[in-house]
Amino acid sequence: MAARIKPLVAGNWKMNGLTAARKEVVALAMKLDGKKKPACEILLCPPATLIAAAREVARGSKIAIGGQDCHAKASGAHTGDISAEMLKDAGATYVIVGHSERRADHNETDAIVKAKAEAAHRAGLTAIVCVGETEAERDAGKTLTIIKSQLKGSLPDAATAKMTVVAYEPVWAIGTGRTPTADDVAKVHGAIRKALETRFGSEGAKMRILYGGSVKPSNAVELMAVPNVNGALVGGASLRAGDFWGIISTYC
């Protein structure tokens, strides 16, 4: 992990969490309260229904709040959608775009993901742009080809290190308990870094690259030590403050 890049540990709650889940934000804030200056940034991305409440509970703490998706337009006749500006207004500072579940369940193409990332930048949000291969693509030896293609099509041309984070999430590892080997992660993250530097120069060298896919306290230390892993995008293990803290503490 490059020393000049401050890690980001982000929790994606997905479609989980009711009002009572605010207690997990409180519990996490209490664990962080004793750390004057954490060595990493901490982010929680709850469902949209909880963003404002989570921001209020986290106010004054070292926890940032983000959204899980946004529409490319700022407003309009898009029933059920949420714009990046709405997320910003609710208290979000980040938004995840292009998660594999959005790509698969909602047929989101690279072009759509790029438009959403551009919308995030327009609203002043940092976009966490997700890329990752399926098991079939992995078995066919197409991992790097797929990742490079997704990066090319999903990242805005004006992306900067301040406003853009890349998250590598092998689809076959999400929620399955399976993770690639450290060597596999190093190979993919190295390829991502090279692609970012080639396209964005010094900005690409500074962009954070997160690993996601069955990250848990038991494997976080090994993953943290992999070159070009600048943090984690955590799913189920972020739903409980204790579990999430077990991951955060390996980075912070």
Q: How far apart are CA 195 and CA 197, in angstroms?
A: 6
The residues carrying an active-site annotation are 99, 169
Contact 210, 185 (CB under 8 A): no
Which of 32, 102, 33, 107 is closest to 67 using CA atoms?
A: 102
Helix (H) or strand (E) holding 150, with range, is helix 143-154
DSSP string, 76-111: SS-TT--BHHHHHHHT-SEEEES-HHHHHHS---HH
Please, which residues bridge with residue 65 across strands? 44
At residue 63, what is the residue type?
Answer: I
- Helices 143-154 and 110-123, packing angle to 10 deg: 40
Amino acid at 130: C
CA separation for the pair 247, 80 (Å, rounded): 33
- The residue among 45, 43, 42 whose CA lies nearest residue 16 is 45
Helix or strand (DSSP H, E) at 11: strand 8-12
